[in-house]
């Protein structure tokens, strides 16, 4: 499992101090970027060096409680890989309060199109992090 803390800034919120939905989505995407970088396979290197990537094909989230300016949101990501895709499962809390949960479904694909098998070393990294 991967964990990171997102501190909600005033610029992430509306005039009432509640985080904008697009800023939460940005935090989710940034979490997957950080996870892949820590795993040793940053998205940008997959694209530039290998002409592959993990395009997002589906996402679904439930928002349980508002996220407010100043909150430190603990976001966890647990990968659930298959042969050609990976589901990143997220949970987020402020203290003990759940604020959102859901998933991103990403397919491993070549830049010239079409899903392909996830390389062994990436898949092994996903499996190792899922077992933590």
Q: Quick one: which of 121, 6, 2, 129 has its CA closest to 67?
A: 6
pLDDT > 70: what percent of the chain? 100
| Confidence band of 113 (pLDDT split at 50, 70, 90) | confident
User: In 3D, which of 39, 13, 37, 38 has the Cα closest to residue 26?
Assistant: 13
How much is the pTM?
Answer: 0.92
What letters, b where the CB count within 10 A reaches 16 and e where it falls short, cover 54-91?
beeeeeebeeeeebbbebebebebbbebeeebbebbbb
Domains of the chain: 2-130 (3.10.129.10)
Q: What is the pLDDT of residues 53-95, one digit of tens each?
A: 999 999 999 999 999 999 999 999 999 999 999 999 999 999 9
């Amino acid at each position: 499992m991967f964990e990171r803390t997102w501190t909600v800034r005033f610029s992430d919120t509306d005039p009432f101090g509640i985080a904008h939905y697009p800023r939460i989505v940005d935090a989710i995407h940034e979490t997957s970027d950080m996870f892949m970088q820590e795993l040793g396979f940053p998205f940008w290197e997959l694209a530039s060096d290998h002409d592959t990537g993990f395009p997002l094909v589906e996402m679904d989230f439930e928002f349980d409680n508002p996220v407010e300016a100043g909150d430190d949101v603990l976001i966890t990501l647990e990968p659930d890989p298959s042969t050609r895709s990976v589901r990143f499962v997220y949970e987020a809390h402020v203290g003990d309060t759940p604020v959102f949960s859901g998933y991103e479904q990403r397919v491993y694909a070549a830049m010239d199109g079409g899903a392909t098998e996830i390389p062994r070393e990436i898949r092994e990294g996903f499996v190792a992090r899922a077992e933590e």
